[in-house]
Amino acid sequence: MITFVYARDQAYGIGKNNDMPWHLPADLKHFKQTTTGKTIVMGRKTFDSMNGPLPNRRNIVLTRNRSFTAADTDVVYSVDDVLALSKEQEVFVIGGTEIFNLFWNHCDKQIVTVIEDTFDADTFVPALKDDEWELVEAVAGTMDEKNRYPHEYRTYVRKT
C-alpha cells in the first residue's frame, strides 16, 4: 500500500525554498505519530532539506543520482523498487512534489493536514478529485499559542 503524508494550504501549496512556509508543531507531532516505526520514501531534495534521516523509521531516498549515499538511509533509483516494497508493507511517501507525481497513480491513501490559510509557496500538490478520492476521516486540529493556524487532519482513500 502506498500512502501519501503531507500538509498543504488552501491553494495546495506544500513548500517554499525546500521548507514548509508555516510553523505548525501539532502537524509535526501528527506526522511523527503517523510515520514512526514505518517505512518512509522521499526524494533527494526533501532528504537534503532535513538534518539527516528521520529517527525510528526506515528512510528510503528515491533519486536518479547513482552516486548519492546517506548514512542510515536506503537509496533506490526506480519507482518499481518502491512499488515492490509496497506489496509487502505500507509505504509512506512524504514528498516532494516530483515524488508525489511519480507515485500519484499508485497511491491508495492520503493523510493530509489541511491548513486553513494560504501561504507564499513554490511547490504544490494536485487537488484531489471527488470522483477519485473519498474522505473517510476529518479531525479538527487544536489551535493555541504555538499552533496559530486553523487546520484539519484528513484521510482520503482512493475510490475503486
Looking at the structure of the chain, the number of domains it has is: 1
pLDDT digit string, tens, across residues 93-133: 999 999 999 999 999 999 999 999 999 999 999 999 999 99
pTM for this predicted structure: 0.96
**Cell of residue 65, nine digits:** 543520482
> What is the average per-residue pLDDT within 74-79?
96
We report the CATH number of the domain holding residue 83 as 3.40.430.10
User: In percent, how much of the chain has pLDDT > 70?
Assistant: 100
Q: Which domain holds residue 32?
A: 2-158
Spatial distance between the Cα atoms of 86 and 78, rounded to a whole number of angstroms: 13
Whole-number pLDDT of residue 125:
96
Mean pLDDT for 66-71 is: 95
Q: Yes or no: say if 143 and 109 are a contact pair by the CB < 8 Å rule.
A: no
The count of residues in the chain is 160
Q: Edge-to-edge strands of the sheet including 39-43?
A: 74-76, 58-62, 39-43, 91-95, 2-8, 109-115, 151-158, 133-140
Confidence tier at 160 by pLDDT (50, 70, 90): confident
Note the pLDDT tens digit of each residue in 148-157: 999 999 999 9
